[in-house]
């Protein structure tokens, strides 16, 4: 599994209220949520994001509410992977559970700039910055998490476990 795209970079403590403001949580429709992704800190995001792009954040990405609408909005907006220095734990769980790839990599978070083109090899955890011609090593997922991702999400993994 690989990803390659243009980076949209944000800072530390990107909270779920700015990822998807609560005023839009009166729907669970993925494309509706995507229309308002990041709008309270970056009104231009939804216009410039292309399918397959990468989001990069600082420390504690996804802090705040447990709303799964946050990773859903990011994924539905077209983002293939979020890289951050660290993730808030509920966001981390939710992203895995819905099949949004996320990687913890402090070096990549520090060195990647907004607009860089980045490619990611999820099997090795290697992030390659094509613009800067630099390579960063991300934390690979533990096997337990890999099983969930390979099953395409938590509920599928439960079904396959029950099937066995």
Q: Does 90 bind another protein (CB under 8 A)?
A: yes
Closest CB to another protein among residues 56, 120: 56
Instruction: Considering only residues 53 through 82, tell me which ones interact with another protein, judged by CB under 8 A.
Output: 59-60, 63-69, 71-72
- Shortest gap between Cβ of 138 and another protein (angstroms)? 17
Binding status of residue 104 toward another protein by CB under 8 A? no
Q: How far is the CB of 6 from another protein (least distance, A)?
A: 24
The closest alpha carbon to 99, from 1, 32, 15, belongs to 1
Question: Binding of another protein at residue 41 (CB under 8 A)?
Answer: yes
Residue nearer to another protein on the CB measure, 96 or 118: 96
- The tokens for 94 are 């939710």
User: By CB under 8 A, is residue 160 in contact with another protein?
Assistant: no
Q: Compute the least distance from the CB of residue 28 to another protein, in Å.
A: 5
Residue 144 interacting with another protein (CB under 8 A): yes
Q: What angle do CA 27, 84, 12 make, to 5 degrees?
A: 80
Whose Cβ is closer to another protein: residue 28's or residue 130's? 28
Question: Residue 47, exposed/middle/buried by CB under 10 A (0-12, 13-18, 19+)?
Answer: exposed
- The token pair that represents 37 in the structure block: 């992704």
Binding residues vs another protein (CB under 8 A): 13, 15, 17-18, 21-23, 25-28, 40-41, 59-60, 63-69, 71-72, 86, 88-90, 93-94, 97-98, 142, 144, 153-156, 158-159
């Amino acid at each position: 599994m690989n990803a390659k795209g243009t980076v949209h970079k944000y800072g530390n403590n990107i909270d779920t209220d700015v990822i998807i403001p609560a005023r839009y949580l009166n729907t669970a429709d993925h494309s509706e949520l995507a229309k308002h992704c990041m709008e309270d800190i970056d009104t231009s995001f939804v216009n410039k994001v292309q399918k397959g792009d990468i989001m990069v954040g600082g420390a504690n990405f996804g802090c705040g509410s447990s709303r799964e609408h946050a990773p859903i909005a990011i994924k539905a907006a077209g983002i293939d992977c979020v890289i951050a220095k660290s993730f808030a734990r509920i966001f981390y769980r939710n992203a895995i559970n819905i099949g949004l790839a996320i990687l913890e990599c402090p070096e990549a978070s520090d060195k990647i700039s907004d607009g860089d083109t980045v490619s990611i090899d999820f099997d090795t955890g290697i992030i390659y910055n094509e613009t800067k011609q630099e390579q960063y090593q991300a934390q690979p997922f533990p096997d337990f998490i890999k099983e969930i991702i390979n099953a395409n999400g938590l509920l599928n993994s439960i079904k396959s476990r029950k099937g066995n």
